[in-house]
Structure 1
């Protein structure tokens, strides 16, 4: 991605040099950041508009059918499993994963930047989730809740944070120079965790399936945006002409 960004910025530079006499070397980076912001804001607006359009028509039917199917599998053992899984998508779960990531980054790769970036992605996703919940103002499902909840329903904070946090960890691991089998195994495990966290929220009766889908979409938007910005900053930092 850094190579692609660098080539794009060089093209923007060439265009600005040809067409403007007073050229600022930082202008291409500023333009790229603005475009990135427009993309993510546009994506969020589209996400909200689509949600509003579907909420009163198609979603209730699909939500009910999928929820009924998922909770039909409720057993004591499965409930314990999904409570454990949903806790992995909560504060203590993230702290444990961050501790493990910090250990790996320091002792094996001698880098802290990835850990700091992961924390940033999680914080941004969590804050934006609060804003989206208040804006959309959707109540929780009216069925039995197997865990206590206090906030609004849409989009799912667990699904959004899981996609943002574990999704970014997947991105970091994809760049690590480690055994390909081990890398693939870790990525599959993280994808499994993301999907299971979403299912756990439906199973426990605290979210509609559409809450989970909305959370995944919003979390993915933040992952892509943050990856773009982090790589842009790295290109900007290493570019000797700026």
Structure 2
């Protein structure tokens, strides 16, 4: 993997270094695009490699050892907790979360931009997960399931959607003005929620650990891709506005 992505990352850094030296007013756009693009490239390579391991059945030992460790902590109270946590990664939870986020962002910013971006990331993640499950066609673990589930296993839809939705929310926290302490607390809370949703799928017996890892990586890929896309669009819009203003001044 490293041999394949090193030239891409090197060329990207050289490209952005040249741009940064010429257009400092667009510095923030280029930095975000560069970092997100690197995450996208690395994430894509990791997902491909993990998928090869999954289809080749070479992760059985890893899946078995991690599953045995996680399920060894099963207890009635912990089971109730993880059922609640896994429900936070279900469709109804995302509907409720989208409503709350929409109200907050619209009241604070009076803009629909970030709302549509968040919704777009979630929808793209969900649709691609359906497609990926059909492509890999991996059956669920044979161990006891503590919740009812009928779809295919790889990659985990809960892990993928959690990373896409709550991961993009973390990104949005740093795009709006708010109290630094609140931002840090929310970032940690969302990060822990992503982690716990993934662990809950293993604990409840409905996913292999490799399913969860694949879901996390795939969700991160969508977050990185969308951040690049949205910032490129914003950068082009900024340039168009600047050109229009310059033309008006010269008239």
Q: Which of the five TM-score ranges fits, normalised by the shorter chain?
A: 0.7 to 0.9
Report the CA distance shift for 1:43/1:198 in structure 2 as closer, same or farther (over 3 A): closer
> In the alignment, what sits opposite 2:140?
140
Corresponding position: 1:114 with 2:114: yes
**TM-score between the two structures when normalised by the length of structure 1:** 0.81
Matched positions, count: 215
**Aligned partner of residue 148 in structure 1, secondary structure:** coil
Poorly superposed stretches of 4+, deviation over 6 Å: none
> In the alignment, what sits opposite 2:131?
131
Residue 56 (structure 1) shift:
3.7
State the distance in 1 between where 2:139 and 2:126 align. 19
Residue 113 (structure 1) shift:
1.1
Report the CA distance shift for 1:147/1:54 in structure 2 as closer, same or farther (over 3 A): closer
Residue 235 (structure 1) shift:
0.9
Structure 2: which 5+ residue stretches go unaligned?
1-11, 23-32, 245-251
Structure 1 residues 74-105: Cα deviation after superposition (integer angstroms, max 9, x where no partner): 11111111111111101111111111111111
State the distance in 2 between where 1:152 and 1:221 align. 21
> In the alignment, what sits opposite 2:5?
none
**Aligned partner of residue 174 in structure 2, secondary structure:** helix
Structure 1 residues 103-125: Cα deviation after superposition (integer angstroms, max 9, x where no partner): 11122222221111111000000
Residue 8 (structure 1) shift:
4.4
Residue 173 (structure 1) shift:
0.7
Structure 1: which 5+ residue stretches go unaligned?
15-31
State the distance in 2 between where 1:91 and 1:84 align. 13
Report the CA distance shift for 1:183/1:169 in structure 2 as closer, same or farther (over 3 A): same
**Aligned partner of residue 149 in structure 1, secondary structure:** coil
State the distance in 2 between where 1:103 and 1:9 align. 39
**Aligned partner of residue 164 in structure 1, secondary structure:** helix
> In the alignment, what sits opposite 1:81?
81
Report the CA distance shift for 1:91/1:237 in structure 2 as closer, same or farther (over 3 A): same
> In the alignment, what sits opposite 2:212?
212
> In the alignment, what sits opposite 1:19?
none
**Aligned partner of residue 207 in structure 1, secondary structure:** coil
> In the alignment, what sits opposite 1:63?
63
State the distance in 1 between where 2:57 and 2:139 align. 17
**Aligned partner of residue 139 in structure 1, secondary structure:** coil
State the distance in 2 between where 1:208 and 1:220 align. 19
Q: Is the 8 A contact 2:159 2:194 kept in 1?
A: yes
Structure 1 residues 137-156: Cα deviation after superposition (integer angstroms, max 9, x where no partner): 11100001111111110000
